[in-house]
Amino acid sequence: MRSASTFNPPTRILLGPGPSGAHPRVLRAMTAPILGHLDPEFLRIMDECNDMLRRVMGTENRITLATPGTGTSGMEAAVMNLVEPGDKVVIGSCGYFGDRIVQMAERAGGVVTRVTSAWGSPTDVAGVEAAVKAAGNVKLVGIVHAETSTGVQTPVEPFAKIAHEAGALLLVDCVTSLGGVPVTVDAWSADAVYSGTQKCLSAPPGMAPLTLSPDAWDAVKAREVPCNSWYLDLSLIEAYWDERRAYHHTAPISMVYALHEALALVLDEGLEVRWARHEQNGRALQAGLEGMGLVLHADEGYRLPVLTTVRIPEGVNDAEVRGALLKRHSIEIGGGLGDLRAKVWRLGLMGESSNPGNVLLALSSLGKILREQGFKADIGGGISAAAAGLEGA
Amino acid sequence: MRSASTFNPPTRILLGPGPSGAHPRVLRAMTAPILGHLDPEFLRIMDECNDMLRRVMGTENRITLATPGTGTSGMEAAVMNLVEPGDKVVIGSCGYFGDRIVQMAERAGGVVTRVTSAWGSPTDVAGVEAAVKAAGNVKLVGIVHAETSTGVQTPVEPFAKIAHEAGALLLVDCVTSLGGVPVTVDAWSADAVYSGTQKCLSAPPGMAPLTLSPDAWDAVKAREVPCNSWYLDLSLIEAYWDERRAYHHTAPISMVYALHEALALVLDEGLEVRWARHEQNGRALQAGLEGMGLVLHADEGYRLPVLTTVRIPEGVNDAEVRGALLKRHSIEIGGGLGDLRAKVWRLGLMGESSNPGNVLLALSSLGKILREQGFKADIGGGISAAAAGLEGA
């Protein structure tokens, strides 16, 4: 029969800011038969996800679950549930996603102070400390651990200290870091941490791991007005994830399967080994890009291994380069977001996508296209620099 | 290698209120390689989803998309985007999901009049008309086309007339009807209609088809305060679905694949043929249940073919019966929700699950277990009555 479907997605090498490629085991898991969302066998799978999420997030928080939406649903759940109208909130923003937290906190009715850093630098510790002191009685301090728009990693510990000394909770966006660079929720003393499935966990987009400390959960339970959102009201979602199993929404069954298998893969590999793999491949790519004569955008010492921003050389056409990479090499890299539009490219090496072959392929393909664009990329120098970093891989 | 995964979901026959079983083509579609959410090939797949959604929903509305969450995300998107603080809203509720709309409209700041009908009857036309007149200056009238908690179908047309004569918009919940019973958005003159993927469309749960009339879209654009939700702000989501392709969230790629294939299957079968299939199997099941000596709960003339509520006979243990069906026959049926807890069972025949074999199997298995529980089910009578209705199937 002639079908209405013309469904035939091509195979891409996903080296952008996410989604990353998925492991065949994850794709296969999604073909398992659909179970009901209250089936004891499905609830067992959810319980296993809980346990694995705690191990992958480095926490013993009872409230550890995945919200039924993409990474942004985790951000919205964390912000909307913790911020009540009139609450004082300080957000340290050094990029697009920090700004997004500000927007959400404002929609939740929060009185928000934004402490802005340059897009390429980490969040400003002294600035946030001063803002927290100036505001007084702050309920929530928020930062982005791995800023997907700039490729910058902000160390979390100083902000935990600032927040807790002021009696505030600390929210940390780990969308791009979880599963790729160390995320240690309890060691950090972070209170609200969320991520996405489609970055370093290498599952398809569609769920957002989220964990709340006992203090954060107390704050949710102590709300005087209900959360703005019904769909992402954590009091309701938690009642489904815990032993009450109270119906709230029909869980995205196949996505839970994918998450379960992705988490099992992370634990099979081992967190330390996985972090080291991401570190090695990311640093090799960065050495290679510099070896070709390109300039990395993020401040040295704060560069994420899983997401690299590199400046677009003068005279080179952003869209043409990305188009050629996609069309001729089937490689996806990301363009700049917000203030960095047409100024940087974003090269991700996340989850399954983070491997030595992709490092070399990215450098060679990008170098070739850059030369066509008139930029004299030193392809040999770049590949050599990268390969040196990949020794022992 | 010993894996951390113990992933092995059993095969169930899903005859509850959803999710329903998925077609192998849908499961297979999800194993396609992940594409970036801005990849031209992925955008083409989204465009095809748009087009197919319009055909399946019976609309030419430009604003036709799927929100990145389960069915409830569609409800939240419709309600939160259309209701502003202070807006007058009238909701005709005849069950659990009507009440849920009320809760959401209240969280959106709406001044809500709820017109309640018995759980088993359709929404009260005269009551809603009176409430709309009494309130004056109503912005939104909301009803549930197919009430999943009661198995009742409420005819839409009278409410469109009431709403539009009062200058209000009409919102219709079609979570359980789309793809199983006629949903004809433009013919109804409905303004905001949403559904879920996991019922009669027979894809896994995880997305919510949604369409807005030009009038409803004007209301969204004319908001004075932003939508409570950032994640489900339709102004932002629409900017990604339309030709601007502005980044808002990372689309749930594999779920979009599933939706695409599920919609293609609906169109391959043909809407009329599909509706007739659901009608025939549903009526056969209902005849069979009555033939066994059971009592249907929903008012005659308003019974959904895709979801049947049947009263639990006196002396029969709800949990034991459902447990035995699941354990011994691998059949899932639903228990009662809210006011109907432990009073009814909910038997769904949706999408792939709606076939003659499942009708006969459900009757035979349920009949056998009921007899063990002391209820003298006339299994032969039930099967005969159902088989008569299945002639020609």
Q: What percent of chain B has pLDDT over 90?
A: 96
B85, B162, B77, B171: which is closest to B124 by C-alpha?
B162
Helix, strand or coil for residue B136? coil
Query: Best interface-test mutation with B: which of A47, A107, A237, A254 has the largest number of B CBs within 10 A?
Result: A254
Beta carbons of B229 and A231 less than 8 Å apart: yes
CA A312 – CA A321 distance, rounded (Å): 10
CA A165 – CA A155 distance, rounded (Å): 17
Beta carbons of B76 and A231 less than 8 Å apart: yes
The DSSP output letter for B19 is P
Query: Best interface-test mutation with B: which of A198, A231, A240 has the largest number of B CBs within 10 A?
Result: A231
CA B90 – CA B110 distance, rounded (Å): 10
Distance to chain A for B343, nearest Cα, Å: 17
Query: Best interface-test mutation with A: which of B99, B254, B257, B260 has the largest number of A CBs within 10 A?
Result: B254
Beta carbons of B204 and A76 less than 8 Å apart: no
Contact list in A for residue B198 (CB cut-off 8 A) is: 34, 250, 253
Contact list in B for residue A329 (CB cut-off 8 A) is: none
At A85-115, the pLDDT tens digits run: 999 999 999 999 999 999 999 999 999 999 9
Contact list in B for residue A326 (CB cut-off 8 A) is: 39-40
pLDDT higher than 60, residue B1: no
Distance to chain B for A165, nearest Cα, Å: 30
Of A239-253, B151-165, B258-272, the one with minimum mean pLDDT is A239-253
A40-57 vs A253-269: helix axis angle to the nearest 10?
A: 40
Beta carbons of A251 and B70 less than 8 Å apart: yes
CA B37 – CA A352 distance, rounded (Å): 17
Contact list in B for residue A16 (CB cut-off 8 A) is: 36
Distance to chain A for B333, nearest Cα, Å: 9
Contact list in B for residue A332 (CB cut-off 8 A) is: 36, 39
**CB nearest B3 (choices: A20, A107, A264):** A264
pLDDT at A4: 60
Distance to chain B for A380, nearest Cα, Å: 29
pLDDT at A7: 83
CA A385 – CA A284 distance, rounded (Å): 7
Q: What is the mean pLDDT of residues A20-31?
A: 96
Q: What is the mean pLDDT of residues B81-108?
A: 98
Contact A298, A220 (CB under 8 A): no
Beta carbons of B254 and A254 less than 8 Å apart: yes
At A6-23, the pLDDT tens digits run: 688 999 999 999 999 999
pLDDT at A13: 98
Beta carbons of A229 and B107 less than 8 Å apart: yes
**Strand ranges (DSSP E) for chain B?**
13-14, 63-67, 88-93, 111-116, 140-144, 146-147, 152-153, 169-173, 192-194, 208-212, 307-311, 331-332, 334-335, 344-348
Name the CA dihedral angle for B343, B345, B346, B349, rounded to a multiple of 10 degrees.
-160
Contact list in B for residue A39 (CB cut-off 8 A) is: 12, 326, 332
Name the CA dihedral angle for B122, B89, B61, A207, rounded to a multiple of 10 degrees.
-90
- Which residues touch B219 (CB under 8 Å, ≥6 apart)? B82, B139, B169
pLDDT at A54: 98
Helix, strand or coil for residue B238? helix
A269-to-A2, A177, A209, A266 alpha-carbon distances in Å: 44, 17, 19, 5
pLDDT at A392: 59
- Burial of residue A310 (CB within 10 Å: 0-12, 13-18, 19+) is buried
Query: Best interface-test mutation with A: which of B11, B199, B231, B235 has the largest number of A CBs within 10 A?
Result: B231
User: CA of A338: which chain B residue's CA is closest?
Assistant: B247
Beta carbons of A41 and B253 less than 8 Å apart: no
CA A291 – CA A293 distance, rounded (Å): 5
Distance to chain B for A313, nearest Cα, Å: 23
Helix, strand or coil for residue B135? helix
Residue matched to tokens 């009803």: B143
Contact list in A for residue B32 (CB cut-off 8 A) is: 7-9
Distance to chain A for B224, nearest Cα, Å: 13
Beta carbons of B7 and A32 less than 8 Å apart: yes
Residues B280, B286, B287, B288, CA torsion sign: positive
At B300-335, the pLDDT tens digits run: 999 999 999 999 999 999 999 999 999 999 999 999
Contact list in B for residue A226 (CB cut-off 8 A) is: 107
List phi, psi (to 5°) of B30: -70, -15
Superfamily the domain A270-390 falls into = Aspartate Aminotransferase, domain 1 (3.90.1150.10)
Helix, strand or coil for residue B285? helix
Contact B152, B120 (CB under 8 A): yes
Of A238-242, A345-349, B165-169, B184-188, the one with minimum mean pLDDT is A238-242
**Topology (CATH level 3) of domain B24-267:** Aspartate Aminotransferase; domain 2 (3.40.640)
pLDDT at A132: 98
Contact B266, B56 (CB under 8 A): yes
Contact list in A for residue B206 (CB cut-off 8 A) is: 68, 206, 252-255
Beta carbons of B204 and A42 less than 8 Å apart: no
At A147-192, the pLDDT tens digits run: 999 999 999 999 999 999 999 999 999 999 999 999 999 999 999 9
- Average confidence score pLDDT of chain B: 96
Distance to chain B for A104, nearest Cα, Å: 6
Contact list in A for residue B71 (CB cut-off 8 A) is: 249-250
Which residues is B366 bridged to in the sheet?
Answer: none
User: CA of B68: which chain A residue's CA is closest?
Assistant: A69
Domain segments of chain B as ranges? 24-267, 270-389
pLDDT higher than 70, residue B4: no
Helix, strand or coil for residue B197? coil
Helix, strand or coil for residue B14? strand
pLDDT higher than 80, residue B178: yes
Q: What is the mean pLDDT of residues B228-248?
A: 94
Confidence of residue A2 (pLDDT cuts 50, 70, 90): low
Beta carbons of B252 and A70 less than 8 Å apart: yes
Beta carbons of A100 and B230 less than 8 Å apart: yes
User: What pTM does this model have?
Assistant: 0.97
Mention the CATH class of domain B270-389: alpha beta
**CB nearest A230 (choices: B33, B104, B249):** B104
Q: ω into residue B122 within 30 of 0, thus cis?
A: no
At B197-221, the pLDDT tens digits run: 999 999 999 999 999 999 999 999 9
User: CA of A22: which chain B residue's CA is closest?
Assistant: B34
Query: Best interface-test mutation with A: which of B250, B260, B329 has the largest number of A CBs within 10 A?
Result: B250
Beta carbons of A252 and B206 less than 8 Å apart: yes
Beta strands at B13-14 and B63-67: parallel, antiparallel or unpaired: unpaired
Q: Specify the length of chain A in residues.
A: 393
pLDDT top residue among A220 and A3: A220
- Average confidence score pLDDT of chain A: 96
Distance to chain A for B206, nearest Cα, Å: 5
Report which residue type is found at B334: G
Contact list in B for residue A274 (CB cut-off 8 A) is: none
Distance to chain B for A68, nearest Cα, Å: 6
Contact B151, B119 (CB under 8 A): no
Contact list in A for residue B37 (CB cut-off 8 A) is: 19, 205
Confidence of residue B8 (pLDDT cuts 50, 70, 90): confident
Confidence of residue A295 (pLDDT cuts 50, 70, 90): very high
**CB nearest A267 (choices: B4, B37, B255):** B4
CA B97 – CA B81 distance, rounded (Å): 18
